């Protein structure tokens, strides 16, 4: 182990986010996975349930035990359900561990809003304040040197990266924003439910949680911060019969006359140096398959002179830029490493 090698533990390692974290961390030049953790399968082998991880160096699942984690790791990724992280992360932080939380438990500054949208008890406000919202392409240096990162939600990542430059520049009226978002079924996690049952979702396409999705307040909180004034949005989620990927189509009214070329140039300037965001050329709109398995967010535009509106299309892989990849990007920033470490690869195609 080199001096810069960081020891990492993954709680929730038997879930989709956890398994994806392990896949990337195994290839990270500065990290060693020293503990894989399960609340229900401690003592068994991770590779028994996930044969693609056969011969993983640390295979035996540990229990969720803060002292044990502290003895084995420097940083902990909590890929745990909402309502679990809120209690667990404070204990890990109190033990002196760095924490990257993938759940929604520390994203909203307001405990009241959290309770309303997530239907769980909010986290202790003292720890809510400690959490840094890790959307690096928008809030730049916030993640650098942080001890505790709240990783953004999958839909908010895709939506906000698509809208942030236009909102920041005042090119669109934030009050007119409408977002149609579509996700593959891995966004729902590995647990079984009727919604993701093969015969329910195959050959099907449906809207869900309409005007009730827990990501609405996160999107509004983030767009309000960028706009410098309160923003509310209409945001509708849809489930698509595919495994990975999110595509967001955002519509908004222009505040002035602009062209596709104006948007492309302005977005490229805003995201200059941010290699995970790729702006498409005029008339080229991204598809989920074009970011599959990667940490990219690709964005394309169409200004409609007839309506005075712009349509912005953004895509991510929900398990990578929407979860594990962005979490590792945040770890890299916390540690002052190259933002790309362990994430430098091209999307899988076809």
Token readout for 178 is 């409408």
Please report whether residue 288 would count as binding ligand X2W according to CB under 6 A.
no
Please report whether residue 64 would count as binding ligand NDP according to CB under 6 A.
yes
248 catalytic residue (yes or no): no
Q: Closer to ligand X2W by CB, 118 or 285: give it.
A: 118
Considering only residues 66, 188, 232, 242, which one is a binding residue for ligand X2W as defined by CB under 6 A? 188
Check if the beta carbon of residue 65 is closer than 8 Å to that of residue 40. Answer: no
Please report whether residue 238 would count as binding ligand NDP according to CB under 6 A.
no
Residue 231 C-beta: closest distance to ligand NDP, Å: 22
Residue 169 C-beta: closest distance to ligand NDP, Å: 28
Draw the binding track, 170-209, toward ligand NDP (x: CB under 6 A; -: no contact). ----------------xx-xxx------------------
Please report whether residue 165 would count as binding ligand X2W according to CB under 6 A.
no
| CA atoms within 13 Å, Cβ hemisphere of 233 | 35
Cβ atoms within 10 A of the Cβ of 173, count? 15
Task: Report the C-alpha gap between 279 and 267 in whole angstroms.
Answer: 7
Q: CA-CA distances (angstroms) from residue 258 to 161, 261, 265, 267?
A: 19, 8, 11, 13
Number of shown-chain residues binding ligand X2W (CB under 6 A): 12
Residue 295 C-beta: closest distance to ligand X2W, Å: 16
Check if the beta carbon of residue 311 is closer than 8 Å to that of residue 249. Answer: yes
Considering only residues 85, 86, 183, 326, which one is a binding residue for ligand X2W as defined by CB under 6 A? 183
DSSP state letters, 149-206:
EEPPPHHHHHHHHHHHHHHHHT-B-GGG-EEEEEE-GGGG-SS--GGG-HHHHTT--E
Q: Which does 239 bind (CB under 5 to 8 A by kind): ligand NDP, ligand X2W, none?
A: ligand X2W
Considering only residues 70, 82, 91, 238, which one is a binding residue for ligand NDP as defined by CB under 6 A? 82
Residue 17 C-beta: closest distance to ligand NDP, Å: 3
As a whole number of Å, the CA-based R_g of the chain is 20
Strand ranges in 102-157 using DSSP code E only, listed in sequence order: 132-133, 148-150
Parallel, antiparallel or unpaired: strands 61-62 and 31-37? parallel
Task: Report the C-alpha gap between 179 and 158 in whole angstroms.
Answer: 11
Please report whether residue 104 would count as binding ligand X2W according to CB under 6 A.
yes
Considering only residues 9, 154, 172, 310, which one is a binding residue for ligand NDP as defined by CB under 6 A? 154
Q: Pick from 18, 139, 19, 35: which is nearest to 85 by CA?
A: 18
Draw the binding track, 203-232, toward ligand X2W (x: CB under 6 A; -: no contact). -----------xx-----------------
Task: Report the C-alpha gap between 325 and 106 in whole angstroms.
Answer: 18
Q: Which of residues 66-85 bind ligand X2W (CB under 6 A)?
A: none
Contacts of 44 by beta carbon, 8 Å cutoff, 6+ apart: 38, 60, 61
Draw the binding track, 318-337, toward ligand NDP (x: CB under 6 A; -: no contact). xx--xx--------------
Check if the beta carbon of residue 349 is closer than 8 Å to that of residue 289. Answer: yes
Draw the binding track, 11-30, toward ligand NDP (x: CB under 6 A; -: no contact). xx-xxxxx------------
- The footprint of ligand NDP (CB under 6 A) covers 11-12, 14-18, 38-41, 64, 79-82, 84, 102-104, 153-154, 186-187, 189-191, 318-319, 322-323
- The footprint of ligand X2W (CB under 6 A) covers 103-104, 153-154, 183, 185, 187-188, 214-215, 237, 239
Question: Which residues have a catalytic role annotated?
Answer: 154
């Amino acid at each position: 182990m080199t001096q810069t090698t960081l020891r990492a533990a993954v709680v929730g390692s038997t879930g989709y986010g956890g398994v994806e974290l392990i896949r990337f961390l195994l290839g990270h030049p500065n990290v060693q996975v020293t503990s894989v953790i399960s609340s229900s399968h401690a003592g068994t082998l991770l590779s028994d349930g996930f044969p693609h991880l056969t011969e993983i160096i640390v295979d035996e699942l540990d229990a969720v035990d803060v002292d044990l984690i502290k003895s084995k790791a420097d940083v902990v990724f909590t890929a745990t359900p909402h309502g679990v992280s809120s209690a667990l992360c404070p204990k890990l932080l109190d033990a002196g561990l760095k924490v990257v939380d993938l759940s929604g438990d520390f994203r909203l500054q307001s405990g009241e809003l959290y309770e309303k949208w997530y239907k769980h008890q909010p986290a202790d406000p003292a720890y809510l304040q400690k959490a840094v919202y890790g959307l690096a392409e928008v809030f730049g240096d916030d993640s650098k040197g942080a001890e505790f990162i709240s990783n953004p939600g999958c839909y908010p990542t895709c939506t906000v990266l698509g809208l942030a430059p236009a909102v920041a520049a005042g090119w669109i009226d934030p009050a007119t924003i409408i977002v149609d978002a579509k996700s593959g079924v891995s966004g729902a996690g590995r647990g079984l439910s009727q919604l993701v049952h093969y015969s329910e979702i195959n050959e099907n396409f449906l809207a869900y949680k309409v005007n009730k999705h827990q990501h609405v307040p996160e999107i509004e909180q983030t767009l309000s911060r960028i706009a410098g004034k309160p923003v509310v949005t209409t945001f509708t989620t849809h489930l698509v019969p595919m495994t990975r990927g999110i595509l967001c189509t955002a519509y908004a009214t222009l505040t002035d006359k602009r062209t596709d070329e104006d948007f492309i140039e302005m977005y490229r300037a805003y995201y200059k140096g941010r290699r995970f965001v790729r702006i498409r050329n005029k008339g080229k709109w991204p598809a989920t398959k074009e970011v599959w398995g990667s940490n990219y967010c690709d964005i394309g535009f169409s200004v409609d002179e007839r309506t005075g509106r712009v349509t912005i299309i953004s895509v991510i892989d929900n398990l990578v830029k929407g979860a594990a990849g962005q979490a590792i990007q945040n770890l890299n920033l916390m540690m002052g490493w190259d933002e790309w470490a362990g994430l430098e690869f091209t999307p899988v195609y076809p």
